[in-house]
Structure formats: C-alpha cells, structure tokens
Structure 1
C-alpha cells in the first residue's frame, strides 16, 4: 500500500486544522490547474481554427494556373493538400475542444464532491472546537467549585476546633459546606457531560476527517490520472496532425518526382511548337541596281552628271559676242 492522506495529515493540537487546510488547498490548486489546462486547450483549438481558415483562404486564392505539365499538376496538388492540411487543423481544433469540455465536466464534479466533504469536516471541526471551549469553561467552573468547597470545609474544621464558636455558627458553616459540595457535584456532572460530548464530537470529527482524507486522495489520484490522459491525448492529436500533414507532403513529393525537366520541355514544345524553319536572311538591295527590276516602265534612267563649271572669264564690254556667250552659260 502506498502513502495515504489518512495517515499523514494529523497533528497533536486538539483544535489544529493545518493538515486538513493543506489538503483543501491542494484540491483547490488542482482545480485551478484543471482550469488552466482547459483554457490552454480552448486557446489551442481557437488557434487551429484560425490557422485552418487562413490555410484554406491561401490555398483557394493562389493562382499559378498558367503552369503546365507535371509541375503544374504538382502545384495544383500542393494547393489541394494545403486545403487538406486546413481540414486536419480544423479536426484537431474539434478534438481539443472535446478534451477541454471533458476537463470542465471533471472539474465541476470534483469541485462539488470536495466542497461537500470540506463543509462536512469543517462543521465537525467547529462542533469539536465549541465543545472543547465549553469543556474548558465547565472545567474551570468545576475547579472553582472544588476550591470553594475545600475552603468552606477548612473553615468548618477550624470552627469546630475552636471552643468559642457557637453551635449556631457551626451549623451555618456546615450548611455552606453542603451547598458548596452540591454546587461542586453539579459542576462536576456538567464537566463530565462536556467531556463525553467532546469525545463524541472528536470521534465524529475524526471519522469525517479520515473519510475526507480518503476522498481527497481519491480525487487527487483521479485528477492526476485524468490530466495525464488528457495531455497524452493532446500530444497524440498533435502527432496525428503531423502524420497527416507529412502524408499530404508525401503526395506532393511523389507528384514532383514525376516532374522531369526534359519531359516538361518536350511536352510544351510538342503542344505549342510553331515550326522548325527559321526566317531567311534579308539581303541589302541597291535601289539603282538594274538587275533588281527589268521592267522598262519601272526602270529609271540614271541622271547624267555634268562636269563642274569653270570660273568664267571676265569679258570686256567691247566684245559683245563673248558677253552673250557668258550670259547663256549662266
């Protein structure tokens, strides 16, 4: 048998509550941890939802439809697998939300059970403490009554030993002693009753305390088991997403393996080729080359070039013929 709460959280102080207070504190801390993990899972789920929507939007808005051949198919496959990845994260978010709800239900159940036990034990602690305080009051009163009776008896004994005390005074002292003894006996009875009542209160408290320790230990063990299971499932969800994403990547990789550069080039050429004959060289043609066009209509006689003019000789006005010749040449 392993360590037990029921054997580990007692104390010698009759009204001490430290042990039980520590257990209650541990239960509340455990509930807080459950709430923290619940919030963590919900935030993770929200992040996966947002990531899923973003991936889907990116995949659907991506263009690149001009790409052809196996590379075009690979590109299209990558967009398809990206949408699948978005679905993986969407499923992951749903699973994480389920785990968060599971923790929430577990926390609510344990909180209700622990609250009942805590209230019951604290009520018994209160009754025990009140009974203990009452016992102390009655014990104090009982001791006072005992001292009073002893004092009265001493006075009576002193009076009896004196020859000067009248009989009537002795009778009064004896009456006081009887009254003190009666008060003492009554106080003694109340004191004994308070001891019995306190013992019963202690037994009731101890019983509930032990049961509370056992229940708290069971709740704590259940909490540890539950959270370990939840966190394990959380990591399994993450692992499964990674596996699914890797399978999607493998599909794209397999598609890309089919993409051969030479085949891509050949496919494009065979599909879109326009011809194998290149345009011939355009030669220079001289406009005045007779061989270019033999048509007499279109052929043009090249202009005759005149010799350069010499500087005219200045003629004398006396020679009118020379002057006329110069004018005609000009």
Structure 2
C-alpha cells in the first residue's frame, strides 16, 4: 500500500514543475464534480418520486374504481384504494428522504472544499515563493558567471601586458584585475546565499507538498467512502420502497382472498330481491266471446272463478215477506 501513496508518486525532477500537484488538484476537482452530479441526480429523482406520488394520490382519491361494488368485493376494493393511497404517501416520503440525502452530500462537498482551500492557499504561496527564489538564484548565478569571465579576461590582459614598458597601463590592468576578483568574491557569496535560501525554500515546499498529499489522500478516501455509502443507502431506500409497497399490496391480496363469490351473490339477492313469483302467462281474449279473462296484464291471476250467471228467479212474489231471500241468503241486515 505504501507504493500507492499520493506523497510517493506525485513529484517531478523539475524544481519549478507543479505537474504532480496539479494532477492531484484536478483529480480532487473531478471528485467534487462527481459528488455534485450525484447530488443533482438525487434531487431529480426526488422530483420524479414526488410527482409520481402526487399523481398516484390523485388517482386513488379522485378516480372511481368499482364504487358501486358490494359486500366482500367492495371491502377488497376499499383496501386496494387505501393501500394505493399509502403507496403514494410512501413515494412522497421517499422524495423528502432523497432531498435530505442530497443536502447531506452538498454539505459534505462544501466541507471538503473549505478544508482543501486552506491547503491550496498555502501551496500556492509556497509555489510562488519557490519560483521567485529560483529566479533570484539564477540571476545571481548569471551575475557570478559574468564576474568570473570578467576576472579571467582581466588576468589574460595582465599576462599579455607583461612585456609592455608602460607601467601606468600595467597598473590600470592590475587594478582592474583586483576589482574583478573582488566582484567575483561578492557575486559568489550572493550566489551561494541564494542557493542556500532556495534550498531551504525547496525543503519547506517539499515538506508542505507531502502534507498536502497526505491531506488530499485522506480527503479522497473520505470522499470515496462517503460517496459509496451514500449510493449504497440510496439503493437500500429504493429497495425498502419496493418492500413497503409489496407489503401494502399484500394487504390487498389478503382482502381479495377473503372475498367470497357466494357471499356477494347472497348479499345482493337478500338486499335487492324483487319477488319470487314470475308473471302469469298472458291469456288470449276473443273480442266476441262473452267470457273474457279479466285478469290484468302483467299481474298474477286470482282464483280460477267461473263468470257469475244470471240472477235466480225469486220463489215468492214481491209482496211476500220472504221476497228478500235468495236461496236462503237475505239482502236485509239481520
């Protein structure tokens, strides 16, 4: 595992190069972008779940579904509508849960951004200081090399003027040589001072780079773990939604198992029956026949009675007191 550490694999032989650091920053930026994409995904999924839940709720509460059904099947339909309502509420609740998870992802992303910002500011300052000191060192090196060339030329001039008889000219050459030697010594000291300063800055930068690598690696481990757990939790929430919905639909299946065809038929018959006697046949009636069927059409016939014949002839005269009797039946109240 030590071979895969950030601090061991993101360097460059060029002291001015920041390719390793830039590579890490790009990777962390991509990780933050991925978190933002998942956060947006959760928000979008939440909107879909909420819309579906509300649409399902409206369907359950406003759309008729066997509203004129009776008895056990009616109770099963009531359970069905109630459980569909419950499933809709679960989807709305899931939408709220997903928004909460998206909020947690946003908070995590912003927390890592703030933590990283401190390290990035420090590293930017170290990089700038290192580059500036490197430039000063290279300028001091150029000055030192130029002074050395000037000294070498002054020495060659002195050697060439050894055979000259003009002492004044020789004196000038010696003065120039002495001056160039002094300049070389001064520039050498300056150059060495800048080298020493650059080396100290390099060591400080190297130390800060290692710390930044360790910090970035810790953040990346935390981000991967958080992202993985968030995705795992999201899938579990979706699975739980399916399980919860299935439990609710199981209640509908149970209510349907309790539905009895015989009971529903008997219930309908007992509460809506209209009678047990069918209508009598309609009899033929001849217009010219003296005897007609007086039974009303569509009604059950009464007792089969023959038509009444003519009145009996009284056995006594109107003056007789028994005139009011007809076959022993009196028309006078007794």
Q: Classify the TM-score, shorter chain.
A: 0.7 to 0.9
The corresponding residue for 2:51 is: 50
C-alpha separation between the residues in 2 aligned to 1:260 and 1:83? 25
Cα distance change, pair 288–295 in 1 and its aligned pair in 2 (3 A): farther
Q: Which residue of 1 aligns with 2:125?
A: 123
Q: Give, in whole Å, the separation in 1 of the partners of 2:97 and 2:165.
A: 100
**What are the residue-to-residue correspondences of 1:1-330 with 2, within 5 Å?**
1-2=1-2, 3-63=4-64, 64-160=66-162, 162=163, 164-292=164-292
| TM-score under structure 1 length normalisation | 0.86
Aligned CA RMSD, in angstroms, stands at 1.6
Deviation string, structure 1 residues 51-88 (Cα, Å, up to 9, x no partner):
11111111111223211111111111111011101111
CA displacement at 1:258 relative to structure 2:
1.4
Q: Distance in 1 between matches of 2:309 and 2:194?
A: 150
What do the CA deviations read for 1:20-51 (whole angstroms, capped 9, x no partner)? Answer: 11100011111111111111111111111111
Task: Tell me which residue corresponds to 2:330.
Answer: none
Q: Is there any run of 5+ residues in structure 2 with no aligned partner, and where?
A: 293-306, 312-334
Report the Cα distance in structure 2 between the residues aligned to 1:296 and 1:237, rounded to whole angstroms: 97
1:166 deviates by 2.4
TM-score of the two chains, using structure 2 as the length reference: 0.85
Superposition deviation, residue 158 in structure 1: 2.5
Q: Using the alignment, how far apart are the partners of 1:126 and 1:83 within structure 2?
A: 64
- For each residue in 1:259-279, what CA deviation from the matched residue of structure 2 results, as whole angstroms up to 9, or x when unmatched? 222222122112221222111
Query: 2:257 and 2:291 mapped to 1: Cα distance?
Result: 62
SS of the equivalent of 2:291 reads: helix
Q: Runs of 4 or more off by more than 6 Å in structure 1?
A: none
Higher RCO structure, 1 or 2 (CA under 8 Å, sep 6+): 1
Structure 1 gap segments, 5+ residues each: 298-330
